[in-house]
């Protein structure tokens, strides 16, 4: 029994989501192999070989993998699939684009966004916006799985010494072509990887009012997030959205400011280690999951909080 993890990377380094996926793969039992499909991706392969728990790194290095097109990466995974009992990828935009194609071609059911491995064929995953946990048992010969990264600790990035093996690259599928990429640049940590997040909701009132949160985020070295209501109102960009239809996060500290706590938002952040809520409505649902709550006007509380932090 051997598991194959499809690495998410930028050809130079592994994305943090891959490390969480490797932990999940290890819990499935047996060896863990990592597929690095890219172009001039030796550095990413080297990084994968050093991850604790990885037995082998398979490298498919070709121009058609340079930009991670899902059609090509999926075909490469399928070319290797016969040797594996489990094929896993992170439940990020990358993994959600690749693995459904793999599952469909293998004619097996995909098991999505697992948060726990009970046994090699039984997994737990949240349903109904996280209000219930489904235990799913699969009898498929190959288990195709996306991993909710907040459910698993990251594997140690050092300490491993896996062999690196080159595999024959599949041809370009010709079904899609890379056009361009717009990368949002920020001095703040990436939302899904941040240890501290400061999020604002509809209670902020306007996009300009989000500037009130910036000094707090700066003091804490935090990423900034938002509820869907704030995003839909045009206060902040889409990539700030935390929740069921946004990004799933589990930082050490999550500060929710002016967020009522709709079930869809809670689904994206309730696994945070410590949750602080600031809201003028004492009945706001966010207080039901908060470890610490401040009932008050955010326009008064946040500046006071920044002042206390020095």
CATH of the domain at 124: 3.40.50.620
Q: What is the pLDDT of residues 166-185, one digit of tens each?
A: 999 999 988 888 998 877 67
Q: How far apart are CA 310 and CA 293, in angstroms?
A: 21
Q: Same domain, yes or no, for 148 and 195? A: no
Q: What is the pLDDT of residues 79-107, one digit of tens each?
A: 999 999 999 999 999 999 999 999 999 99
Q: To 5 degrees, how large is the angle CA 126–CA 243–CA 254?
A: 105
Class of residue 36 by CB neighbours under 10 A (exposed 0-12, middle 13-18, buried 19+): buried
Question: Which ranges in the chain belong to alpha helices (H)?
Answer: 16-27, 42-49, 70-80, 93-106, 214-220, 228-232, 263-269, 298-308
Q: Of 60, 64, 63, which Cα lies nearest the Cα of 48?
A: 60
Domain boundary among 166, 201, 227: 166
Q: Tokens 């999951």 belong to which residue?
A: 289
Q: Same domain, yes or no, for 221 and 304? A: yes
305-309 mean pLDDT:
93
In the prediction, which pLDDT does 192 show? 86
Number of domains in the chain: 2
Q: What is the pLDDT of residues 36-66, one digit of tens each?
A: 999 999 999 999 999 999 999 999 999 999 9
The residues, any chain, with a CB within 8 Å of residue 192's CB and separated by 6 or more, are 16, 17, 92, 149, 247, 248, 249
Q: 78 in helix, strand or coil?
A: helix
Q: What is the pLDDT of residues 2-24, one digit of tens each?
A: 999 999 999 999 999 999 999 99
Domain contains 184: no
Q: 156 in helix, strand or coil?
A: coil
Count of other CB atoms within 10 angstroms of residue 280: 15
In the prediction, which pLDDT does 95 show? 96
Q: Please give the C-alpha separations between residue 3 and each of 43, 122, 167, in angstroms, as whole numbers.
A: 22, 15, 17
Domain contains 290: yes
**Is residue 297 over pLDDT 90?**
yes
Q: Containing domain of residue 249, as a range?
A: 191-308
Q: Same domain, yes or no, for 136 and 215? A: no
In the prediction, which pLDDT does 241 show? 96
Q: What is the pLDDT of residues 99-128, one digit of tens each?
A: 999 999 999 999 999 999 999 999 999 988
CATH of the domain at 222: 3.40.50.1220
Q: Same domain, yes or no, for 37 and 71? A: yes
Identify whether the C-beta of residue 72 lies closer than 8 Å to the C-beta of residue 65. yes
Q: Same domain, yes or no, for 29 and 122? A: yes
């Amino acid at each position: 029994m051997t598991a194959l993890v499809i690495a998410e990377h930028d050809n130079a380094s592994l994305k943090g989501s891959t490390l969480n996926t490797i932990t999940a793969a290890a819990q499935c039992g047996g060896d863990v192999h990592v597929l690095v499909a890219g172009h001039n991706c030796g550095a990413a392969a080297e990084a994968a070989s050093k991850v604790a728990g990885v037995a082998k790194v398979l490298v498919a290095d070709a121009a058609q993998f340079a930009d991670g097109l899902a059609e090509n990466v999926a075909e490469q995974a399928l070319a290797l699939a016969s040797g594996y009992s489990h094929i896993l990828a992170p439940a990020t935009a990358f993994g959600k684009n690749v693995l459904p194609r793999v599952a469909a071609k293998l004619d097996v059911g995909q098991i999505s966004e697992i948060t726990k491995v009970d046994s090699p064929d039984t997994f737990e995953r949240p349903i109904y916006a996280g209000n219930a946990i489904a235990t799913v048992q699969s009898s498929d010969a190959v288990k195709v799985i996306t991993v909710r990264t907040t459910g698993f600790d990251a594997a140690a990035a050092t300490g491993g010494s896996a062999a690196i093996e080159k595999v024959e690259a599949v041809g370009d599928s010709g079904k899609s072509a890379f056009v361009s990429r717009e990368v949002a640049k920020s001095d703040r940590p990436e939302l899904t990887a941040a240890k501290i997040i400061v999020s604002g909701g509809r209670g902020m009132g306007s996009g300009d009012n989000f500037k009130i949160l910036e000094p707090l985020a700066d003091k804490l070295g935090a990423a900034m997030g938002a509820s869907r209501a704030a995003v839909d109102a045009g206060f902040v960009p889409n990539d700030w959205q935390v929740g069921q239809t946004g990004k799933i996060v589990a930082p050490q500290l999550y500060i929710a400011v002016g967020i009522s706590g709709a079930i869809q938002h809670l689904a994206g952040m309730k696994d945070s280690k410590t949750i602080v809520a600031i809201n003028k409505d004492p009945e706001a649902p966010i207080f039901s999951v908060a470890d610490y709550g401040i009932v008050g006007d955010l326009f008064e509380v946040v500046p006071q909080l920044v002042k206390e932090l020095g």
